[in-house]
Structure 1
Amino acid sequence: MDRLRWFGRSDTLFVFLAILLPLFFSIANSAFNVTTIPFNQGYLPLFGDGNLVRSPDGKGVRLLLDRFTGSGFISSKLYKHGFFSANIKLPSDYTAGICVAFYTSNGDVFEKSHDELDFEFLGNLQGKPWRFQTNLYGNGSTNRGREERYRLWFDPTKEFHRYSILWTAKNIIFYIDEVPIREVVRNDAMGGDYPSKPMSLYATLWDASNWATSGGKYKVNYKYAPFVAEFKDLVLEGCPTDPIQQVSDAGVCVEKEVNLNSQDYAMVTPERRLAMRKFRQKFMYYSYCYDTLRYPVLPPECVINPLEKRRFKDTGRLKFGGSHRRQSRRRSRTPVASNSEFDSNM
């Protein structure tokens, strides 16, 4: 029952168990129909080669972090739109100060105008739940971070769960298992802030002691090293495209785009939309769309839910149930391309 106490008072927990979990489980058990590829067919080591361990069947990898280096991998091609997915199991025990990132970016090609879509998992003290955030940047809009932060309804260290990013010309959806947790719908007012250039997929495990846990209060403790994040059942769906000229077989790309938009994971059914709303009501504890101190003018992609808005302060944080202190985040752009100012504005 210890983990159940994460979710609050017993009456809230009862409602959660009676209504929310069956919905999540029913959706999560109806897995997407995806085609996985072996690691060597789609990915290359990015850094810390000695800490990247391929599985015996070639279908997955382990990323390790020790006192000498973290590790990471990158897709061997860049893609114009796509579905990027992996089954991931996060490090267990004491994980304060570490960051596991699963994201798309073109920061190595477009240094000052890069695009990015992030899952970032933030370590914690032993016995405390993992938290994570999603983010997106378009055309180098790092001074306009679009962070949301959440808790999970399960322990991500016990077994694998599928984390996915769908990126199309019309929308972006972040999934956990088959539950959509966030959707950003493109509109003309976003302009270049909507990611539009070809991106690679990245996965990294690294020391983020200066910001990841309680604003850097709790550092990586290498007594618990090596920290291990596991990735398997990797999915890369999209059209490989030259990042500079953005030249590819036009016919093939049109066909792939049509196929991408016709897949099950591109359909936000009423059942999935309800699951997304329930997730956000229960587990989202920060949203930039409700942070009127940072954004007195509402960002154009934000769709305000009046019921959701009442739960948040003008800082974008929960009025009740929030457990995080003000944080200060400064981070290097290596190895992760993101340069969020989330915590420095809290």
Structure 2
Amino acid sequence: MARRSLAPLALAVAATVVALALCFHPASAQSAWLDEFRTDGEVRSDFDASGKQVASLVLDENSGAGFNSTEKYLFGEFSVEMKLVPGNSAGTVTSFYLTSGEGDEHDEIDMEFMGNSSGAPTVLNTNVWASGDGKKEHQFYLWFDPSADFHKYTIIWNAKNIIFRVDDVTVRAFRRYADLPYPDARPMAVHATLWDGSYWATEKGKVPIDWAAAPFVVSYRGYTANACVARGGGGRTSCPAGRNEWMDRELDDTDRLTVAWARRNCLQYNYCEDGWRFPDGFPGECSRE
């Protein structure tokens, strides 16, 4: 009798364990966005209490880390939540960006976060490369501590402009002009990296990494890509039906207000004001902004 009575108890325990697992990871199967990426270096993966997958990149004296998408895209909206390196992160560079590759004619759209000494503001570097033509940086001081919690960073890329957003606040738009280079033909993969940028990241390289504070860790979660996937050659793409509101996205009145606010209060470097860098004249788009 005792042996027979254990069966219902075992089933009840098993059911409870399954229920608890679902409570702790209610959407893990749907949230495993890291499966869409290749990883390099030490990349830790876990799920938080809400069921969101969290990918953490680790930087030490031996290696940085990163992940890149298995798909390439031609236009889309790309977002991720990030929690940056806490404390003294001087010399480190954390990134979320798109690139077509490493060649001299490559295209790229960058959001890079440059580490700082404890207490100093974090700089967000935004940049655009088209057919190997770069040097189009706008750098902003973030108005919050990006290491204290997760914040959302978004790149919207279409045939009209590239929009950079922080917590759904638009801080910059890079417009397309018919007579100037613009990334519109080369499919790009999504990348995230954490690496040693001591030679330039903090105060133009004056403050290097303090390896005594290693390992450095940055975490990503909530990644989404609402975008056209490149299919083979010839510019063929597969676009998401009914989810392409980003395709014609340009600045609206609210965006123009927040861009103006970011310029007044947060912009600390604008390539269109760097005469030393462009002694023969500024890039063409500078006079049209």
2:37 aligned with 1:54: no
2:145 aligned with 1:147: no
Quick one: which amino acid aligns to residue 149 of structure 1? Q
Residue aligning to 1:272: 255
Residue aligning to 2:246: 260
* 1:186-228 deviation line (CA, Å, top 9, x unaligned): 11121x3444311001000011112211222221112111111
* 1:159-202 deviation line (CA, Å, top 9, x unaligned): 11101100001110000011111101111121x34443110010
RMSD of Structure 2 on Structure 1 (CA): 2.2
CA deviation after TM superposition for structure 1 residue 303, in Å: 5.0
Conserved 8 A contact 1:39-1:58: no
Check 1:63–1:243 CA distance in 2 against 1; reply closer, same or farther (3 A cut): farther
CA deviation after TM superposition for structure 1 residue 67, in Å: 1.5
Task: Give the Cα separation in 2 of the matches to 1:71 and 1:39.
Answer: 17
* 1:272-322 deviation line (CA, Å, top 9, x unaligned): 2211211111110111112233334342323567xxxxxxxxxxxxxxxxx
Out of 64, 78, 82, the residue aligned to residue 88 of structure 1 is: 82
Conserved 8 A contact 1:239-1:256: no
Task: Give the Cα separation in 1 of the matches to 2:141 and 2:172.
Answer: 13
SS at match of 1:302: helix
Residue aligning to 2:149: 159
* 1:250-287 deviation line (CA, Å, top 9, x unaligned): xx43857844336xxx3533122211211111110111
Check 1:243–1:202 CA distance in 2 against 1; reply closer, same or farther (3 A cut): farther
Quick one: which amino acid aligns to residue 262 of structure 2? F
CA deviation after TM superposition for structure 1 residue 37, in Å: 5.1
Check 1:256–1:135 CA distance in 2 against 1; reply closer, same or farther (3 A cut): farther
Task: Give the Cα separation in 2 of the matches to 1:223 and 1:300.
Answer: 45
Give 1:53-202 correspondences, 5 Å limit.
53-56=44-47, 57=51, 59-108=53-102, 111-142=103-134, 145-190=135-180, 192-202=181-191
Quick one: which amino acid aligns to residue 270 of structure 1? D
Residue aligning to 2:228: 239
2:27 aligned with 1:38: no
SS at match of 1:260: coil
TM-score if structure 1 supplies the norm length? 0.69
Residue aligning to 1:219: 208
Residue aligning to 1:282: 265
Task: Give the Cα separation in 2 of the matches to 1:116 and 1:132.
Answer: 16
Task: Give the Cα separation in 2 of the matches to 1:194 and 1:37.
Answer: 30
Largest Rg, 1 or 2? 2
SS at match of 1:61: strand
SS at match of 1:113: coil
Conserved 8 A contact 1:39-1:61: no
Deviating more after overlay: 288-297 vs 83-92: 288-297
Task: Give the Cα separation in 2 of the matches to 1:178 and 1:289.
Answer: 25
Identity of counterpart residues, as a percentage? 32
Task: Give the Cα separation in 2 of the matches to 1:140 and 1:39.
Answer: 30
Task: Give the Cα separation in 2 of the matches to 1:196 and 1:156.
Answer: 33
Check 1:289–1:37 CA distance in 2 against 1; reply closer, same or farther (3 A cut): farther
Out of 192, 195, 212, the residue aligned to residue 203 of structure 1 is: 192
Check 1:94–1:202 CA distance in 2 against 1; reply closer, same or farther (3 A cut): same
Out of 263, 276, 284, the residue aligned to residue 293 of structure 1 is: 276
Residue aligning to 1:310: none
SS at match of 1:55: strand
Task: Give the Cα separation in 2 of the matches to 1:90 and 1:186.
Answer: 31
Task: Give the Cα separation in 1 of the matches to 2:230 and 2:240.
Answer: 12
Task: Give the Cα separation in 2 of the matches to 1:288 and 1:170.
Answer: 21
Task: Give the Cα separation in 1 of the matches to 2:276 and 2:215.
Answer: 40
Quick one: which amino acid aligns to residue 183 of structure 1? A
Aligned residues: 256
Gaps of 5+ in 1: 1-35, 306-346
Task: Give the Cα separation in 2 of the matches to 1:177 and 1:243.
Answer: 34
Gaps of 5+ in 2: 1-29
